[in-house]
Structure 1
Amino acid sequence: MRRSRSSIANIEQLQTIHVPATEIYKALTSVQGLSEVWTRELTVYEQVGASNDFRFGDDDLTKMQIVELTPPKRIEWLCTESDPEWVGTTVSFELNEKHGKTDVILRHTNWREITNFYRSCNYNWAMFLYSLKTYCEDGAGLPYQDRKF
């Protein structure tokens, strides 16, 4: 099915991580976890309404307002500052634990259209989940500063 340019697009990714949901929730809400999973240049709060800042190089700032924190089940952010294609989009993480392993569903919703940047972000969110998995399972993620791709 082909989408028209006016459609809203969403990114959805799934990763199974072999640790309890509480550990993943902590990784996604703490400075320590997010600095190992996403970027080492960040300011992170653990309070609904607060704004987390993530830097990817000198001129690339992303601000995510925390919309929801439901331990250890769900996290939602609203992008308030970043690339124009991200502003107004939401990123959420749903954590579903069963028998000591957790399915993480990442959704990046409300894109205005499918562009090359959207496609690149789709790939990079998959890499984010891989980084989250290796951090939670092995103790070392793959933050932006260590990526070579």
Structure 2
Amino acid sequence: METYDIYHDLAIKASASQVFERITEPRHLENWWPRRCSGKPELGAIYNFYFTPEYDWVGKVIKCKPDFAFHIRMTDADTDWENTSFGFDIEPNVEDMNLKFFHESWPERNHHFRRSSFCWAMLLNGLKNYCEKGAIVSFEDRE
């Protein structure tokens, strides 16, 4: 069965540990992605990503290497997201970090896939601004 993937790369002027903290700690995730979040950055941990009552999703950490990688497989989400995996790989550069993002194994390249790709790009820009400038976008103003 063919699946579809989303990839985005971005440079962030921050330390690897700061970027890792912003993509793994629920209190930081809430500043750029879900409305509420719970979970611990450790292999096998369960994360809850709450956006609205209709979008109250769960994922399991499948890779966690502090300052280098954090990957999650979605286990309870809508049909398109369920059983997909998303994650972040951090590559240090001389002046910044190269963050390599993926969201893999989408069953269809449908409207939701295309919309999610756009939203991830916007959200990752929010993450970049959060890491570099401390900028927080209210949940209602996020894509």
TM-score (norm 2): 0.93
Residue equivalent to 1:43 = 38
Secondary structure of the residue that 1:96 maps to in structure 2?
strand
Shift of 1:141: 3.0
Q: Does structure 2 retain, via aligned residues, the 8 Å contact 1:38–1:128?
A: yes
Query: Which residue, out of 9, 13, 20, partners 1:18?
Result: 13
Shift of 1:9: 0.5
CA–CA separation in structure 2 for the residues paired with 1:36 and 1:43? 13
Q: Number of residues paired by the alignment?
A: 143
Shift of 1:40: 3.0
Q: Does structure 2 retain, via aligned residues, the 8 Å contact 1:131–1:143?
A: no
CA–CA separation in structure 1 for the residues paired with 2:138 and 2:74? 20
Residue equivalent to 1:106 = 101
Q: Which aligned pairs between 1:129-148 and structure 2 lie closer than 5 A?
A: 129-142=124-137, 144-147=139-142
CA–CA separation in structure 2 for the residues paired with 1:24 and 1:71? 10
Secondary structure of the residue that 1:37 maps to in structure 2?
coil
CA–CA separation in structure 1 for the residues paired with 2:137 and 2:63? 25
Residue 29 to residue 100, structure 1, CA distance change in 2 (3 Å) = same
Shift of 1:146: 3.1
Query: What are the superposed Cα offsets for residues 24-63 of structure 1, whole Å, 9 maximum, x if unpaired?
Result: 0011111221011112311121221111101111221121
Shift of 1:143: 5.2
Query: Which residue, out of 41, 64, 86, partners 1:69?
Result: 64
Query: Which residue, out of 113, 117, 120, partners 1:118?
Result: 113
Shift of 1:22: 1.1
RMSD over aligned Cα, in angstroms?
1.4
Name structure 1 gaps, 5 residues minimum.
1-5
CA–CA separation in structure 2 for the residues paired with 1:29 and 1:133? 14
Query: What are the superposed Cα offsets for residues 58-115 of structure 1, whole Å, 9 maximum, x if unpaired?
Result: 2211211111111111111000011111111100101111113011111000111200
Q: Does structure 2 retain, via aligned residues, the 8 Å contact 1:38–1:142?
A: no
Identity %: 24
Query: What are the superposed Cα offsets for residues 113-133 of structure 1, whole Å, 9 maximum, x if unpaired?
Result: 200000000001101211110
Name structure 2 gaps, 5 residues minimum.
none
Query: Which residue, out of 80, 85, 91, partners 2:86?
Result: 91
Q: Does structure 2 retain, via aligned residues, the 8 Å contact 1:40–1:144?
A: yes
Secondary structure of the residue that 2:92 maps to in structure 1?
strand
